[in-house]
């Protein structure tokens, strides 16, 4: 069962509850987030419109190496880390990638390939406003949650937030066509998120599953008025293993089209992620992570013909 926490108050009022949830399952459903129903509904409608575009529009706005923005074709990204010696199957989703809309004059613009301007479809003139409205609402939620995590760790809130001054925060719009009910492959392979925290309004049809400590999988059930939050590898590292980055996957055997639009909170490219408190006993993934380098590396290795460096561990299940 995923814990439910009300975050409508000051971070001091919910910090302990968030910490308890993320120290166990790594996922928590939050109410009182103040992202309006209309903002979420507009975003969900826009995501459906994005994937209703013609194949010609999708091809013209396709994601490219070095500019990780635009359409991700169905089945294009394939896990390139063999499991049990077997070649993994392609994921059964199509996507549209967006990153923080970096101002053209910002000094970070030339510092990392993940900075830049997004692709906004001419065919959808309100796309930019709708997406950025939802994005701004998620920014507020993320800031509030980061303060809660900082309080739980006993570290300075402002010092943590300063690490997000020019964030590599990103969002993926996702469309999962219905799978064959007899298929044994996931729509999105089991993985951990590489970022700090993820904010998601789950599709009401379900399909998101998370792995429990005993290795079993459960459905990530979330009330319709709540947002689902999960810890990524960077927050796990900051916390010295106190907060758990939990494997999860998507399986869409509902017979319906599934849509989602996760928001991934990531620090600025120049930040180096390392434990901010003494690591928990047995937590050994403590080597520092340069955010810009590793974020770019994670995206580079999404291409089927690109393989990770031997020491790449962000997002892996070990």
CATH number at residue 284: 2.60.120.330
pLDDT at 315: 52
pLDDT at 313: 53
Phi-psi region of 66 (alpha: psi -120 to 50; beta: other; left: phi over 0): left
The parent domain of residue 53 ranges over: 4-300
* Kind and range of the H or E run holding 137: helix 127-153
Q: Which residues are within 8 A (CB) of 245 and not within 5 positions of it... i.e. 6 or more apart?
A: 26, 192, 193, 230, 231, 232, 233, 235, 236
Overall average pLDDT of the 200-211 stretch: 92
Q: Is the pLDDT of residue 316 over 80?
A: no
Distance CA 265, CA 271 (A): 13
User: What local confidence, expressed as pLDDT, does residue 83 receive?
Assistant: 52
**pLDDT surpasses 90 at 189:** no
Cα separation, 7 vs 261, whole angstroms? 21
pLDDT for the residue numbered 312: 52
| Domain contains 37 | yes
> pLDDT by residue (tens digit) across 149-170?
999 999 999 999 999 999 999 9
| Residue 233 lies inside a defined structural domain of this protein | yes
Number of residues written out for the chain = 318
For the chain, the domain total comes to: 1
Q: What is the pLDDT of residues 47-105, one digit of tens each?
A: 999 999 999 999 999 998 877 899 999 988 765 555 555 556 778 899 999 999 998 88
**229-241: per-residue pLDDT in tens?**
999 999 999 999 9
Contacting residues for 33 by C-beta, under 8 A, at least 6 apart: 7, 8, 141, 226, 227
pLDDT of residue 303: 76
Residue 316, domain member (yes or no): no
User: Beta 27-31 vs 227-231: how paired, if at all?
Assistant: antiparallel
- Cβ-based burial of 215 (10 A; exposed 0-12, middle 13-18, buried ≥19): exposed
CB atoms within 10 A of CB 300: 17
Cα(125)–Cα(130) distance, integer angstroms: 10
Report the predicted TM-score, pTM, of the whole model to 2 decimal places: 0.93
pLDDT band at 284 (very low <50, low <70, confident <90, very high): confident
Residue 310 falls inside a structural domain: no
Measuring CA to CA, which residue among 263, 245, 242 is closest to residue 19?
242
Q: Exposed, middle or buried: residue 182 (CB in 10 Å: 0-12, 13-18, 19+)?
A: exposed
CB 7 within 8 A of CB 148: yes
Give a yes or no: residue 231 inside a domain.
yes
The two counts, helices (H) then strands (E), for the chain are 7, 15
**In a domain? residue 318:** no
Task: Measure the CA–CA gap between 122 and 57, rounded to whole angstroms.
Answer: 9
Q: Give residue 56's pLDDT.
A: 97
Residue 311: is its pLDDT beyond 90? no
Chain segment 107-161, per-residue pLDDT in tens? 888 888 889 889 999 999 999 999 999 999 999 999 999 999 999 999 999 999 9
Distance CA(73)–CA(62), nearest Å, equals 8
pLDDT digits (tens, 9 = 90+) for 254-278: 889 999 999 999 999 999 999 999 9
Does residue 317 form part of some domain? no
Give the C-alpha separation, 102 to 99, whole Å: 8
Phi/psi at 292 (5° precision): -60, -50
Q: Once rounded to an integer, what is the mean pLDDT over residues 25-45?
A: 97
Q: Output the six-digit token pair for 312.
A: 């790449």
Cα-Cα-Cα-Cα dihedral of 128, 111, 166, 28, to 10°? Answer: 80
Q: Three-state SS for 254?
A: coil
d(CA 202, CA 197) in angstroms, rounded, equals: 15
Q: Where are the beta strands (DSSP E) in the chain?
A: 4-6, 27-31, 70-72, 94-99, 170-176, 188-191, 197-200, 208-211, 217-219, 227-231, 248-250, 258-260, 263-265, 272-273, 289-290
pLDDT surpassing 80 at residue 253: yes
Q: Does 192 map to a domain?
A: yes
């Amino acid at each position: 069962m995923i814990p439910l926490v009300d975050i409508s108050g000051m971070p001091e009022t919910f910090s302990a509850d968030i910490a308890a949830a993320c120290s166990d399952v790594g996922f928590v459903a939050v109410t009182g987030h103040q992202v309006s129903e209309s903002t979420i509904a507009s975003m969900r409608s826009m995501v459906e419109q994005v994937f209703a575009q013609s194949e010609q529009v999708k091809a013209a706005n396709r994601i490219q190496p070095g500019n990780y923005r635009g359409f991700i074709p169905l089945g294009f990204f394939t896990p390139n880390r063999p499991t049990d010696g077997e070649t993994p199957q392609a994921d059964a989703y199509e996507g549209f990638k967006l990153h923080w809309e970096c101002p053209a004059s910002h000094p970070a613009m030339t510092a990392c390939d993940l900075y830049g301007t997004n692709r906004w479809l001419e065919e959808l003139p309100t796309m930019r406003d709708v997406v950025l409205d939802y994005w701004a609402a998620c920014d507020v939620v993320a800031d509030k949650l980061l303060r809660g995590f900082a309080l739980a760790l006993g570290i300075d809130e402002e010092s943590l937030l300063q690490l997000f001054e020019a964030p590599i925060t990103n969002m993926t719009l996702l469309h999962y066509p219905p799978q064959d009910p007899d298929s044994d492959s996931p729509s999105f392979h089991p993985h951990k998120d590489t970022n700090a925290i993820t904010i998601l309004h789950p599709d009401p049809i379900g399909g998101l599953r998370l792995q429990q400590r005993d290795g079993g999988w459960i459905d990530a059930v979330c009330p319709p008025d709540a947002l689902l939050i999960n810890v990524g590898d960077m927050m796990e590292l900051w916390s010295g293993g106190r907060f758990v980055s939990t494997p999860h996957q998507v399986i869409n055997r509902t017979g319906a089209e599934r849509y989602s639009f996760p928001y991934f909170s990531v620090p600025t490219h120049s930040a180096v992620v390392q434990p901010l408190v003494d690591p928990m006993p047995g937590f050994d993934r403590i080597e520092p992570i340069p955010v810009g380098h590793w974020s770019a590396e994670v995206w580079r290795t999404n291409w089927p013909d690109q393989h990770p460096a031997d020491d790449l561990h962000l997002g892996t299940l070990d």
